[in-house]
Amino acid sequence: MRALVKHHQDEGAQLREVPIPTIGPDEALIEVKASSICGTDVHIYTWDEWAQSRVKPPYVFGHELGGVVVAVGENVSNLQVGDHVSAETHIVCGHCVACRRNDYHVCLNTQIIGVDRDGCFTKYVALPASNLWVNDPSLPFEIASLMEPMGNAVHTVLSGEVAGRSVAVVGCGPIGIMAAAVAKAAGASKVIALDVNEYRLNLAEQMGATHIIRSHKEDPVKAIQAITRGEGVEVALEMSGHPIAMKQAFEMLTPGGRISILSLPTRPIELDITNDIVFKGITVKGITGRRMYETWQQTASFLESGAVDLNPLVTHRLSLDDFEEGFELMKSGRSGKVVFSL
């Protein structure tokens, strides 16, 4: 079968023929119908410092998928051939201290598909049956492929109280845009989207942001103060990883507020801990992955109820042959989610 392979330790990827994977007794074989490009995939494609420190080419990358179960191992009882599925991409050990306290999302021995093992930019992928989430067959495969990154947004938004509160989304990449939609669906009184990318700010507004701040044209902290009558925002969701934006996220937060950080800054960031954390008495949450499987249930409920509509976020649909175009679109910032049909 053809697959998109991270073939060397440099920028780029190649389409290659690879074997169809075999499955173990606790695994399922998935026919991939749609797979979307994630920011992590862009890191791997461009071969940045993070990718250089983590991944080991050659291997098949990609980790966001919607597909159909075509075979199951002899021990599998939670799936049937024909089930429509998405994948929880963190494969956990189940026995470390984090797993034993039900914090599987921070398992000490996590492997991530498409990062630490073969992924889904190909026609078939083998995964543990316990990592597959069964979808209603009416859910389009391209939307099913977005459930994994949407889960990051849901986990970030719902890591504290949201209903009736003002929420700032700092950084409107695709997950930030989804966070704006989730915050609105969860009852936020104000959803304030901040970015320098006009294309993605427009998407954020289309999907639920009530206010837009163009961070390169106005002082974000002053703009937040104006919107919130000088009180500051009650919840800040840091999605940018930019040192200046992250510092501003702490500054714009009201005393007693909450900041949840999903972004991954590439270098240490200097913060005023005394004035922006301690004296404000704020809560700081670090967010990784999705809570298994509470977040998946929440994500599915948002989609099934129609409270969140991800269709506007799918801005480009390509074949795997056009992977170079897809990655250039993601790098340019003039896209929402780019989805490959397989």
The answer to the question of whether 198 is labelled as a binding residue is no
**Average pLDDT in the chain:** 97
* CATH topology match: 2-146+310-341 vs 153-286: no
The verdict on whether residue 271 carries a ligand-binding annotation is no
CB-based burial, 48-78: b 16+ in 10 Å, e otherwise: eeebeeebeeebbbbbbbbbbbebbbeebee
Q: pLDDT band at 170, cuts 50/70/90? A: very high
273: its two tokens? 């801990």
107 is in an annotated binding site: yes
Report the alpha-carbon distance of residue 315 to residue 2 in Å, rounded: 25
- In this prediction, what percent of the chain has a pLDDT beyond 90? 98
d(CA 151, CA 217): 31
**Range from 15-29, 55-69, 113-127, 258-272 carrying the lowest mean pLDDT:** 258-272
pLDDT greater than 90 at residue 43:
yes
The tokens describing 118, both together, are 């073969």
The verdict on whether residue 93 carries a ligand-binding annotation is yes
Known binder of ligand: residue 200?
Answer: yes
**Of the candidates 82, 77, 100, 91, the residue with the CA atom closest to the CA atom of residue 128:** 91
Q: What is the pLDDT of residue 188?
A: 98
| DSSP code of residue 150 | H
Catalytic choice (7, 40, 242, 266): 40
Tokens of 213: 């701040």
Helical (H) or strand (E) element with 286: strand 283-286
- Is residue 63 marked as binding? yes
Listed in sequence order, the DSSP H helices in 213-293 are 220-227, 243-251, 273
305 is in an annotated binding site: no
Residue type, 309: D
Q: Is the pLDDT score of 284 beyond 90?
A: yes
pLDDT of residue 277: 97
Residue in this structure with the two tokens 């002082």, named with its chain if needed: 219
pLDDT band at 339 (very low <50, low <70, confident <90, very high): very high
- The whole-number average pLDDT for the span 321-337 is 97
pLDDT, residue 202, reads 97
Reduced to 3 states (helix: H, G, I; strand: E, B; else coil), residue 318 is: strand
Compute how many other C-beta atoms are within 10 angstroms of the C-beta atom of residue 93. Answer: 13
pLDDT class of 266 with cuts at 50, 70, 90:
confident
262 labelled as ligand-binding? yes
Q: What is the mean pLDDT of residues 54-68?
A: 97
- SS3 of residue 335 by DSSP: coil
Band (pLDDT 50/70/90 cuts) for residue 267 is confident
Give the pair of three-digit tokens for residue 139.
């859910």
Half-sphere exposure of 327 (CA within 13 A, CB side): 21
Render pLDDT for 287-325 as a digit per residue (tens, 0 to 9): 999 999 999 999 999 999 999 999 999 999 999 999 999
Q: CA-CA distance, 240 to 237, in Å (whole number)?
A: 9
Q: What integer is the mean pLDDT of 332-341?
A: 96
- What ranges do the domains of the chain cover? 2-146+310-341, 153-286
Residue 64 labelled as part of a binding site: yes
Question: Quick check: is 274 catalytic?
Answer: no
Q: What is the pLDDT of residue 7?
A: 97
Write down the pLDDT at residue 297: 98
Task: Give the integer Cα–Cα distance in Å for 232 and 242.
Answer: 20
CATH architecture of structural domain 2-146+310-341: Alpha-Beta Complex (3.90)
Q: Tell me the pLDDT tens digit for each residue of 195-252.
A: 999 999 999 999 999 999 999 999 999 999 999 999 999 999 999 999 999 999 999 9
pTM of the model as a whole: 0.96
Dist CA 106 CA 112 (whole Å): 12
Residue 339, SS3 per DSSP: strand
Q: Is 256 exposed, middle or buried (0-12, 13-18, 19+ CB in 10 A)?
A: exposed
Annotated active-site residue in 7, 8, 22, 43: 43
Q: What is the CATH number of domain 153-286?
A: 3.40.50.720
Taking residues 139-155, report their average pLDDT: 98
**Strands 166-170 and 233-238: what pairing?**
parallel
In the residue annotation, 242 being an active-site residue is answered as no
* Residue 105 token pair: 């999302």
